Amino acid sequence: MKLAKLTKQTFLFGLQLIIVSGLLGQGATKVASSAGQFLKIGVGSSAAAMGGAYTSVASDASSIYWNPAGLAKIEYNQVMFTHIDWLVDISYDYIALGVKLNSSASVGLFAATLQVPKDEVRTVQEPEGTGEFFEAGDLAVGVSYARNISDKFSVGVVGKFIQETIWSMTSTALAVDVGTLYRSSWNDLTIGIVLNNFGTPLKLSGRANLIYVDPDPSIEGNIETIRAELEMNNWDLPMNLTTSLSATPINNGHLALTTAIDMVHPNDNNEYFNAGGEIAFRNMLFLRSGYQGFGQENKEGGLAFGGGLNIKINNMTNLKVDYALSDYGRLKDVHQFSLVIGF
């Protein structure tokens, strides 16, 4: 009885928080007001094919990204590999490990890297290039813990280190994700609430912001080349609060249909929705489709689809291969491949 009361209070609080956040966010979208944009790239081909409507669906190693509470639902140890051919030849790779400690708790580790192709350094004086090349890239690593509070309610948390680099400049931050998951017995109706990327701001520092200045040009004979450092601005992480609903209205052992919707409130854009669905045949063959970004202004594309195979090798090993294609309009399509090995 106490647990049911606590669960009810938790979701009522989450609902109130969403309503208040929505009211506060009206009238200002704050587009492009945060750094660490690579943290928004959804991982896992299953999630991408469902249009990112996955916060209440994830129950494998990708839960570390979508909702750490879902990590408590893994049935066996898992390692996940994801590669994304991102926009304009940018590549993104993600690896995650989920380990089941016991029937109630799991831990996880993850690492994500984004790599921008080399490009020439160009200046106003040398627009064709100086002969130098620069690189840019991002990194996120972290650890997760999830626990089933009951057979229906679970919680999880992720702690992560974030780094962005461009040429000789680097910025770092620390952040946490906190999530909850409640699964009812009616058509597997599931409610997920997660707060992503709550942490310290990013601030660039490095060789490029070192300069030499004359502290007082009006005085002659003083030291005119004092080494100084430009003060860079702090930029918030792309924090968002997501509430997700999913259900499986059809599940007869041969065919299962899952539908989901994610309601996202970001700190650097207006609120939007993701919606998607999955059809599973004997839990072996999967077809998925979805649409991301309902409600966003000036967005590109949104439609996504894909599929996957779940292969049981033996009693101890499971192999899951997935693919997703996401439409980004004039920015062209994004392809994502994922491999999950259960052991």
Same domain flag for 244 and 113: yes
What average pLDDT does range 132-148 have in this prediction?
95
HSE-CB for 56 with a 13 A CA cutoff:
30
- Using alpha carbons only, give the angle 96, 99, 100 rounded to the nearest 5 degrees: 145
pLDDT in tens, 202-239: 999 998 888 888 877 777 777 778 888 888 899 999 99
Over range 23-42, report the average pLDDT.
Answer: 74
Distance between CA atoms of residues 30 and 24, nearest Å:
12
Residue 34 lies inside a defined structural domain of this protein: no
Of 212, 234, 256, the one marking the end of a domain is: 234
Q: What is the mean pLDDT of residues 137-141?
A: 98
pLDDT band at 7; cut points 50, 70, 90: very low
Q: Are residues 110 and 207 in the same domain?
A: no
- pLDDT bin (cut points 50, 70, 90) of residue 29 is low
Percentage of the chain lying above the pLDDT 90 cut: 69
Instruction: Give the residue numbers spanning the domain of 163.
Output: 44-200+236-342
Mean pLDDT taken over the chain: 89
Quick: pLDDT tens for 168-210.
Answer: 899 999 999 999 999 998 889 999 999 999 999 999 999 888 8
Q: Are residues 86 and 138 in the same domain?
A: yes
User: What CATH number did the domain enclosing 139 receive?
Assistant: 2.40.160.60
Q: How confident is the model at residue 20 (pLDDT cuts 50, 70, 90)?
A: very low
pLDDT over threshold 80, residue 32: no
Predicted confidence at residue 28, as pLDDT, reads 53
Q: How high is the pLDDT of residue 131?
A: 86
- Our count of domains for the chain comes to 2
Predicted confidence (pLDDT) per residue in 74-110, tens digit: 989 999 999 999 998 999 999 999 999 999 999 999 9
